Amino acid sequence: MHLRAWRLIFAFVLSGATVYKLETRAVSVWYGSYQALKGVSLALERNQVLALIGPSGCGKSTFLRLFNRMNDFIEGFRLEGEVLIDGENIYAPQVDPVHLRRRVGMVFQKPTPFPFSIYENVAYGLRLQNRLPESQIRERVEHALRQAALWEEVRDNLKKSALMLSGGQQQRLCIARALAVRPSLLLMDEPTSALDPISTAKIEELIHELRQHYTIVIVTHNMQQAARVSDMTAFFYMGQLVEYGRTKDFFTNPQHPETIRYITGRFG
Amino acid sequence: MRYKAVTFVPKRWVEGLSTALITLISWVALGALGGVIAFLLYKGAGVLSWAFFTDLPRRGMQSGGIGPALVGSIYVTLVAIGVGSLVGTAAGAYMSEFATRRRIVRFLEFLINTLAGIPSVVYGLFGLALFVVALGLGASILAGGLTLALLSLPLLIRNAQEAFGAVPKALKEASIGLGASELQTFFRITLPIALPRLLTGLALATGRVLGETAPILFTAAVYYLPTYPKGLLEPTMLLPYHLYVLVTSGVDVRQTYPMAFGTALTLLGLTLAFTGLAAYLRFRLKRRYRV
């Protein structure tokens, strides 16, 4: 903890400017001989929402999963370049990916509640760490459920199976589960693609709320969604970062012909 | 809109006849199974009594009971399944969850399939050479149990591998994403969810081990003992071998015939009991985890 704080200050002084929450420097990724990302450089400030868009197979999910090292498990995964969170290279040899993942929350495409009770789902990440007294766990479970705007709906049913919840509720439960371990960065991989419009609207509202405390990276297939929820937008195509900028400029005044073709719906 | 003509539409009577035929064949197969059970009940039920299960064989095995063989079989099976389930589950977990190279897993699968095809009498000979002679365990419950554990391993490993593999990958990823190590994910998510399938495989293996005769012939079984087994390093009477003895090499085979059917019925009952127990546990756990 101390070391990380010092490293932050050190990086701050060195750069003489802001330390970005997220930064990638010339990141290339291979799966075996297939190159999934080609020299992607990008930086994001604290408490911003970054939307990653692009057609299927463009590398946006690979890019997202760099930040909690979920790609490590894929056979043949190889990385060049640097991925930094708070100025720290998270692929440095001394970084333990398990510790990293406790600082970075992730929400997946389909809701993935564990077949336990609602309470135990949210407490799962807490129980993995230091032994907290049950009273403290209860407090943090409630806080996380409130943050995920689910508390009012489940407060009387905490002992019930999480599988009884609707799809939208399950996804908010997964968000609560990720928030309970108090990450500073939240990764979302198409979090609403399996949900109905009303549940989608709730999740988007939630992203608006969460942005006050978290930095969020969200992969989405839905360009309206990207426009609604994000501050910054990055467009990926065939493993390359084609265009990156403020969301409001991005959709009103795109620069690259590929971007224009994509957001006007001519391919993808 | 016009539908394109479909090239082949089975005639209704062909449908009906095929369905009837399939149903008939299924019932014949089930009938054969039921027939076996009914036949054993008809021939063997007469000798069944509490004393039959607990008494020692008497008067050249023409009367008395099968107590020592029953207890011996239970001991040997406990050793076999105890060892086999631990090793089999660990190996299956390695192959499904922890091995990092798919080629190694392929190779292990090939080896295991080969092992599964080896005749059980060969396992017996191997057990004799390794456990009885080389490790000096002698013909004993331990040696027989270990031999049977080896025999059941291919089945148990493949079953464990499939059980762990069937746990949704999304759940394992979610756990990893929350900062669980691979080992934590295995013990908190994968293992509990795979448990119903693991138990089913265990029950099938138990049934198989209970009935195996060849592997225990040289490693554990004795023709006749006037006592219950006293320890793991003692040889013992065993149900399958006892059955063989009663049918082929008793003092008077005609006199021991009903005893043989009683023994067979006991063996069948034990197998059914284990299968039933596993089915029940599976049902309970499945409801709890709903996967």
> Do B248 and B268 fall within a single domain?
yes
pLDDT of B199 strictly over 60: yes
Which sign does the torsion angle of CA A93, A94, A95, A98 carry?
A: positive
Taking the C-alpha atoms of residue A75 and residue B126, their distance in angstroms, rounded to an integer, is 38
Report helix angle A134-147 to A118-128, nearest 10: 120
Chain B residues with beta carbon closer than 8 angstroms to that of A129: 179
pLDDT band at A112 (very low <50, low <70, confident <90, very high): very high
Task: Tell me whether residue A143 is in a domain.
Answer: yes
Who's near B14: CB < 8 A, 6+ residues apart? none
The total number of residues shown for chain A amounts to 268
In a domain, B275, yes or no: yes
Q: Which residues of A touch B100 (CB under 8 A)?
A: 75
Is B121 inside a domain boundary?
yes
Q: Is B166 an 8 Å CB contact of chain A?
A: no
B255 and B129 within one domain: yes
Look at residue B198 and tell me if it is in a domain.
yes
**What pLDDT, on a 0 to 100 scale, did the predictor assign at position B66?**
80
Looking at residue B234, the DSSP 8-state letter turns out to be S
Domain with residue A60: its CATH number is 3.40.50.300
> pTM for the whole thing?
0.80
Edge-to-edge order in the sheet of strand A185-189:
A104-107, A185-189, A215-219, A49-53, A232-237, A240-246
Domain assignment of residue A109, given as a range: 2-263
Q: What are the tens digits of pLDDT across the range B145-195?
A: 999 999 999 999 999 999 999 999 999 999 999 999 999 999 999 999 998
Cβ contact (<8 Å) for A178 and B178? yes
Half-sphere exposure of A258 (CA within 13 A, CB side): 15
Number of domains in chain A: 1
In whole angstroms, give the CA distance from residue A70 to residue A77: 10
Query: A222 lies in a domain?
Result: yes
Domain with B166 in it: what CATH number? 1.10.3720.10
Q: Which chain A residues touch B189 with a CB distance below 8 Å?
A: 114
Which of B230, B217, B282, B224 minimizes the C-alpha distance to B250? B224
Which one of B100, B189, B288 has the shortest CB-CB distance to A114?
A: B189
Domain match, B56 and B43 both? no
B95 shares a domain with B29: no
- Asked if B36 and B65 sit in the same domain, the reply is no
Pairing of strands A77-85, A22-31: antiparallel
Is residue A268 domain-resident? no
Q: B244 and B106: one domain?
A: yes
Structural domain includes residue B2: no
Residue B177 lies in a domain: yes
Determine whether the interchain pair A128/B288 forms a contact, defined as Cβ–Cβ distance below 8 Å.
no
Do the Cβ atoms of A55 and A72 come closer than 8 Å? no
Decide if B170 is inside a domain. Answer: yes
Q: Cα separations (Å) of A244 from A38, B46, B125?
A: 15, 86, 71
Per the domain annotation, does B6 fall within a domain?
A: no
Same domain, B32 and B60: no
Q: Please write the tens of the pLDDT for every residue from B49-99.
A: 887 777 777 776 666 778 788 888 999 999 999 999 999 999 999 999 998
- Is B185 found in the same domain as B245? yes
Domain that holds residue B121: 50-289
Q: What is the pLDDT of residues A56-109, one digit of tens each?
A: 888 999 999 999 999 988 888 999 999 999 989 999 999 999 999 999 999 998
ipTM field? 0.85
Residues in chain A whose Cβ is within 8 Å of chain B: 68, 70, 73, 75, 98-99, 101-102, 105-106, 108, 110, 112, 114-115, 124-125, 128-129, 161, 163, 174, 177-178, 181
Question: B214 and B145, same structural domain?
Answer: yes
Asked whether the predicted pLDDT for residue B291 surpasses 50, the reply is no
User: Do B203 and B177 share a structural domain?
Assistant: yes
Whether B289 contacts chain A with CB within 8 A: yes
* Pair (B238, B157) in one structural domain: yes
The verdict on B120 and B24 lying in the same domain is no
Q: Which two tokens stand for residue B218?
A: 């040289």
Number of domains present in the structure of chain B: 2
Residue A99 is assigned to a structural domain of this protein = yes
